[in-house]
């Protein structure tokens, strides 16, 4: 594999709600610590769908999309020592300053200036992506490129589960069986949870939850998840819960399902904010409510855990990169049955 600079690069952009186009951007060369990755698989994320609707709270249109991806190292800067040309990799797509107080304490997920590659015009619905060497992770030899692209959302789930301190024997409720919710459920079982209950609309996603290690599912269209959890636990409630949808009613369900002293972790992206909360119950039950975004030292853990999970089962649809509009339409279509839509090169 050899490339020459300047290099022309297609980059997918949502320029108005539900509409994408490709920009022709030039990569002039690499800084000493940069790596050029040839994209082989790039998955559509839930946040990409918020962007497509023009409702992502942190990414106003127009914005390039794509940050769940894997590929091959195509070129390296002069100071790069670990990445090598031809290496199969996935990428942690965050950008941090390295000098703020959080970064200097190793807590780069709380960087005062944190951003993500796609928000800076370097989206992965593209032919190539330029990244800094420390954010490159080699894929295991038997992992497909499509599964490699899913290390980013699996790292998001890993981060949420680690923040919640899920432990041996815990009873956990996950509200929302989307890709992140399903991965949260899987990682809770990996962390030792004794009971993992996934609530959502009936269908293949709840079936997938069971295949990933969930012990129980709840049809949230027929029964309130909180009431179901209390019935399952003899009136105790869940030790931990995760809200993975981004809707007020789902957050209320996740909170009211908790035992006294329980912890709810919010992972969903809220297109509508602020929301109302059952504050009186939070006081009387001394509940803990926290958020989880992104990752911080989570990629290596996710990659190791992925070897015990059927990651390729998440991929329900694949498209060539030049069919980005069709792929996005499929991911947005609730009737398509999509779980993860992957663009391949």
**Each residue's pLDDT tens digit, 254-277:** 999 999 999 999 999 999 989 999
157-291, what's its fold?
A: Rossmann fold (3.40.50)
Of 122, 139, 129, 149, nearest in space to 37 by CA: 129
Instruction: Report how far residue 46's alpha carbon sits from residue 220's, in angstroms, rounded to the nearest whole number.
Output: 20
Instruction: Report how far residue 64's alpha carbon sits from residue 225's, in angstroms, rounded to the nearest whole number.
Output: 37
7-149+310-344, what's its fold?
A: Quinone Oxidoreductase; Chain A, domain 1 (3.90.180)
Asked if 314 and 179 touch (Cβ cutoff 8 Å), the reply is yes
pLDDT recorded at residue 344: 97
Encode 18-46: b = buried (16+ Cβ within 10 Å), e = exposed: eebebeebebeebeeebbbbbbbbbbbbb
Burial class (CB in 10 A: 0-12, 13-18, 19+), 138: middle
Q: Percentages helix, strand, coil for the chain, rounded to the nearest 5? A: 30, 30, 40
pLDDT recorded at residue 1: 67
Give the residues of the chain that fall short of pLDDT 50: none
- Residues of the chain within CATH 3.40.50.720 domain(s) are 157-291
Encode 294-322: b = buried (16+ Cβ within 10 Å), e = exposed: bbbebbebbbebbeebebeebbbbebebe
pLDDT recorded at residue 2: 80
For residue 16, what are the β-bridge partners? 19
Instruction: Report how far residue 172's alpha carbon sits from residue 195's, in angstroms, rounded to the nearest whole number.
Output: 6
- Residues of the chain within CATH 3.90.180.10 domain(s) are 7-149+310-344
What is the DSSP pairing of strand 216-219 with strand 195-200? parallel
Of 58, 52, 47, nearest in space to 273 by CA: 58
pLDDT recorded at residue 337: 93
pTM: 0.97
Instruction: Report how far residue 8's alpha carbon sits from residue 18's, in angstroms, rounded to the nearest whole number.
Output: 26
């Amino acid at each position: 594999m050899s490339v020459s600079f300047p290099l022309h690069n297609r980059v997918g952009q949502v320029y108005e709600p539900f509409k994408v186009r490709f920009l022709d951007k030039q990569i002039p060369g690499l800084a000493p610590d940069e790596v050029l990755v040839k994209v082989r698989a790039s998955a559509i994320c839930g946040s990409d769908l918020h962007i497509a609707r023009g409702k992502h709270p942190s990414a106003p249109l127009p914005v390039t999309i794509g940050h769940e991806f894997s590929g091959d190292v195509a070129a390296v800067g002069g100071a790069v020592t670990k990445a090598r040309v031809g290496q199969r990799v996935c990428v942690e797509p965050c950008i941090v300053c390295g000098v703020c107080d959080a970064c200097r304490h190793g807590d780069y997920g709380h960087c005062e200036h944190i951003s993500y590659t796609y928000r800076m015009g370097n989206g992965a619905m593209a032919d190539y992506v330029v990244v800094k060497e420390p954010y490159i992770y080699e894929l295991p030899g038997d992992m497909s490129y499509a599964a490699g692209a899913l290390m980013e959302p699996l790292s998001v789930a890993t981060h949420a589960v680690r923040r919640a301190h899920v432990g041996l024997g815990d009873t956990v409720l996950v509200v929302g069986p989307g890709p992140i919710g399903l991965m949260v459920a899987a990682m809770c079982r990996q962390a030792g949870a004794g009971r993992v209950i996934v609530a959502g609309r009936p269908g293949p996603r709840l079936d997938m939850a069971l295949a990933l290690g969930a012990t129980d599912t709840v049809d949230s269209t027929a029964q309130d998840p909180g009431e179901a959890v209390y019935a399952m636990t003899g009136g105790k409630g869940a030790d931990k819960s995760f809200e993975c949808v981004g809707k007020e009613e789902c957050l209320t369900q996740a909170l009211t399902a908790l035992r006294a002293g329980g912890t709810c972790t919010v992972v969903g992206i809220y297109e509508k904010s602020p929301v109302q909360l059952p504050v009186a119950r939070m006081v009387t039950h001394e509940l803990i409510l926290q958020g989880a975004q992104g990752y911080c030292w989570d990629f290596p853990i996710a990659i190791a855990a992925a070897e015990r999970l059927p990651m390729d089962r998440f991929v329900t649809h694949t498209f060539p990169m030049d069919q980005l509009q069709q792929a996005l339409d499929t991911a947005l279509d609730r009737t398509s049955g999509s779980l993860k839509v992957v663009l391949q090169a």
